[in-house]
Amino acid sequence: MAGEGNVDGIGTGPAHDADLHHVSYHAVTRYVQRILGVEVTLDPTRTPPGSKWESVRTAIAHCEAAGTNLNAVRRQILTPAVLTAIAFKARSFSVGCITVQMANGVIVTISPRSRRSTLGMKIMTRKEERRENARIHRRMVRGFKE
């Protein structure tokens, strides 16, 4: 069926051209910079800071430097998981290797997914393990008595 899998008119399959407006020019620029690793320095005389078209020209310049175009980058960003999050009006979410920030149904910025450096197994000495096990046991016994 044509409307199957859609929420609020947003497709949950591959990104359609109608869905591409959900990605801002700033988000495209940040995706190319932070995820694809392409950085471009623009001539400030061609695009004065604060001008109406600054974000558009910046996004186009970054896409050209990456060897792609705006719509192709927007399609890369708009995975089925991102389209679903847009449909459910999420504000911030992580998908794969990126974290997405949204405002009013539009992706405004993208950054690499942060990973806690403290994540992983804690290596304890034998004495620390015994102390930890005794502490857990005391809590369990105390919990059953009450």
Task: Indicate if the pLDDT at residue 6 is higher than 80.
Answer: no
| 130 falls within a domain | no
| 78 falls within a domain | yes
Helix, coil or strand: residue 128: helix
Looking at 31-66, list the stretches that DSSP marks H as alpha helix, in order from N- to C-terminal side. 54-65
| 134 falls within a domain | no
| Domain, as residue range, for 98 | 17-112
| 54 falls within a domain | yes
| 97 falls within a domain | yes
The tally of domains found in the chain comes to 1
Model-level pTM?
0.67
* DSSP code per residue over 32-88: IIIIS----PPPTTTS-TT-TTHHHHHHHHHHHHTT--HHHHHHHH--HHHHHHHHT
pLDDT tens-digit map of 10-65: 444 556 677 788 899 999 999 999 999 998 887 776 767 777 788 898 999 999 99
| 108 falls within a domain | yes
When pLDDT is averaged across residues 120-140 and rounded to a whole number, the result is 87
